[in-house]
Structures are given as structure tokens and as C-alpha cells.
Chains A and B, each alone.
Chain A
Amino acid sequence: DIQLTQSPTFLSASVGDRVTITCRASQGIRSFLAWYQQKPGKAPNLLIYVASTLQSGVPSRFSGSGSGTEFTLTISSLQPEDFATYYCQQLHSYPRTFGQGTRLEIK
């Protein structure tokens, strides 16, 4: 199985900050990676797919990059509604594994 490791696991930041979350795959997955945002008690929400394509309706302050084994999710200027948990997921092979999550909290 492909393991995904996110870093950091926990991130404290302020409104207006630029933040980056990293997702590393245990083997190459080309660009078959998605990012999701989840708020407490809610279903996940797709942000980015094929590593860098922004899902329709997602603000442009979110961006993704990377290929192979290392990927990043960047939020250019944090807004209050961005404080949530973020997950990466690989779609290269089965099982479709997720990273362990990165919890982003207000400093």
C-alpha cells in the first residue's frame, strides 16, 4: 500500500499568513493526488485534484503543486474560514489511501 505522510500534523497560524502543508508518498504517484478540507462535524470538501487543479468554486488563495512523491498545498493568505483539517489522498493505486491530516488552528 502507498503511505502518505503529511507535515506538519498541527499548524498554528494567523489570519493573513501564508501556510504550506506537505504530503509525501512512499512511492511515486505521478500527479494522482487530491487535497480535501474538513471542518468539525462536516463532510470533507474537495479543494484540489491531479495535484494542482483547483476544484470549481474553491478560492484562488488555495494552490497545489508537486509530482512523484512530494506535494504541497499552499494557502496564500489565511482567512477565518480556512481553519480546518486538511487531508491529501492518492488516486494512483488501490487502496486509495489518505494522509493522517493536518489540523490548522488560529494562533
Chain B
Amino acid sequence: EVQLVESGGGLIQPGGSLRLSCEASGFNLSTYAMTWVRQAPGKGLEWVSDISGSGGGTNYADSVKGRFTISRDNFKNTLYLQMNSLRAEDTAVYYCAKETNNVSDYWGQGALVTVSS
């Protein structure tokens, strides 16, 4: 059974840094691209970033480019999102998702990140 479990969320002050992790099980992580999608409270879905199976290719939304870094450790079956220079508008539930045929077919339960002083 495919499972994705996010961790690392919490309350952080503006300008701070946080690293989210997404532990994968039930499939070979190295075979699949992975994605981060976020959802601000009461708002819609926003695509954040994705990474190829090997980790050699990454893409970012303009809103996070230069501040967030996606990475993966296929040996640890874990996807990461390093978030620096956090802003209030980054407050959201962050979901990791597995990609098949370019679509997100399995999602984690989400990790809440709150940026506030």
C-alpha cells in the first residue's frame, strides 16, 4: 500500500527556516517524480515544486523560487522541502504527492506550516 507521511511542520517566525519531510512507503521512490502542493487556510490548491525520480530535474512556482529547495533521498525513501526566508503568505498545509503519468495519484495527509510572529 502506498503511503506518504509528511512531518516537520509547525509555527515559525517570519524570515525563519523550516524543512518538511515526506516519508514514502509501498513503492520504489526512485522510480517516480514527486510534488509539493500547498493550501492556505480556506483557499484553493497551489502547486509549489516538483522533482524527477533521479533528483536531477526540479521546478518551482515563482512564489517560492529562490527561497524553497526540493530534494530527495531515495535510499531513505524521503522527499524534502527546505523552506527559507518564510513569509506570512507561506502559511498553509503542505502536501507531498507521488506523480504517475504527470499527475499526483497519491497524497500525504499534509503538514501545517504557520508563519507568524
Contacts and interface: CB of A to CB of B under 8 A. Distances in A.
Contacts of B102: 32, 49, 91
A94 B101 contact: no
Q: Is the interface of A mostly helix, strand, loop or mixed?
A: loop
A73 interface: no
A49 B61 contact: no
A89 B47 contact: yes
Interface residues of B, number: 21
A95 interface: yes
Nearest to B45: A98
Nearest to B59: A94
A80 B71 CA distance: 40
Contact of A97 (B47, B103, B109): B47
Contact of A100 (B44, B60, B103): B44
Contacts of A21: none
Nearest to B6: A43
A95 B44 contact: no
Interface in B79-97: 95
Interface string B64-87: 000000000000000000000000
A94 B61 CA distance: 8
Contacts of B59: 94-95
Given A45-B107, A95-B59, A99-B44, 15 more contacts: A32-B102, A34-B103, A38-B45, A44-B95, A44-B104, A46-B104, A46-B105, A49-B102, A89-B45, A89-B47, A94-B59, A95-B47, A96-B35, A98-B47, A100-B44
9 tightest CB-CB pairs across the interface, nearest first?
A: A43-B107, A96-B47, A49-B103, A91-B102, A98-B45, A34-B103, A101-B44, A95-B61, A94-B59
13 contacts: A38-B45, A42-B109, A43-B95, A43-B108, A46-B103, A87-B44, A89-B103, A95-B60, A95-B62, A96-B35, A97-B47, A98-B44, A101-B44
